[in-house]
């Protein structure tokens, strides 16, 4: 399946894209959020969490690395910005999360080789001060299903 792109011109619209994708998410799904500083990854996660019924405010996990939330599914929000090696994943229980019944949302997934290949990759690009382009790239059959369902308006 070819990549699918969306443009957004506000944080509110970026959150709405996350809420929409949330409707298709199931236990065990993973989103790899790849893009520069301030490109909208955490903003998007806020929308996904809202869509999954999380009531708490979602904040960046850059310094704590992992935050967990409970919605209609458990939500695990990971930030790999401060990690560099595949072995670092052991310290945060990455394999256990991926094998479990949660939805895993990973910022800076491109920092550690192999992580993106396990997920629906979403690339975030700055286009203007408030403009962002989001591109979904499916790795594997489950990610393709998610991307198809996300693209249906
Ligand atoms: N269309 C947009 N979508 C998302 N955020 C936007 C948009 N336009 C402006 N912004 C602003 O850009 C910033 C995005 O911050 P956010 O924390 O979501 O980025 P991030 O990719 O998670 O960054 P980091 O790599 O530091 O974790 C916010 O200040 C937000 O208000
Ligand atoms: Mg962030």
Query: What's the CATH number where 117 sits?
Result: 3.40.50.300
The total domain count for the chain is 1
108 Cα nearest atom in ligand 1: 25
Domain containing 94 equals 4-151
Query: Residue 153 — very low, low, confident or very high, per pLDDT cuts 50/70/90?
Result: low
Contacts 24+ apart (CB under 8 A), 50-56: 50/15, 50/18, 50/19, 50/22, 51/18, 51/19, 51/20, 51/21, 51/22, 51/23, 51/25, 52/22, 52/25, 52/103
Strand partners, 107: 33, 79
Residue minimizing CA distance to atom 26 of ligand 1? 37
pTM: predicted TM-score of the whole model, two decimal places: 0.98
Residue minimizing CA distance to atom 9 of ligand 1? 130
pLDDT exceeds 90 at position 17: yes
d(CA 60, CA 41): 9
Mutate to test the pocket of ligand 1, among 33, 39, 81 (most ligand atoms within 8 A of CB): 39
């Amino acid at each position: 399946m070819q990549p699918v792109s969306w443009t957004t011109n506000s944080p509110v619209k970026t959150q709405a894209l996350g809420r929409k994708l949330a409707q298709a998410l199931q236990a065990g799904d993973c989103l790899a959020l790849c893009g520069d500083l301030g490109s909208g990854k955490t903003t998007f996660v806020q929308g996904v969490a809202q869509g999954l019924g999380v009531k708490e405010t979602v904040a960046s996990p850059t310094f704590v690395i992992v935050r967990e939330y409970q919605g209609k599914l458990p939500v695990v929000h990971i930030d790999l910005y401060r990690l560099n090696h595949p072995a670092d994943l052991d310290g945060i229980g990455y394999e256990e999360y991926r094998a479990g019944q949660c939805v895993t949302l990973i910022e800076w997934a491109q920092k550690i080789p192999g992580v993106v290949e396990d997920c629906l990759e979403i690339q975030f690009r700055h286009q203007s001060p408030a403009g962002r382009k989001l591109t979904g790239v499916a790795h594997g059959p489950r990610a393709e299903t998610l991307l198809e369902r996300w693209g249906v308006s």
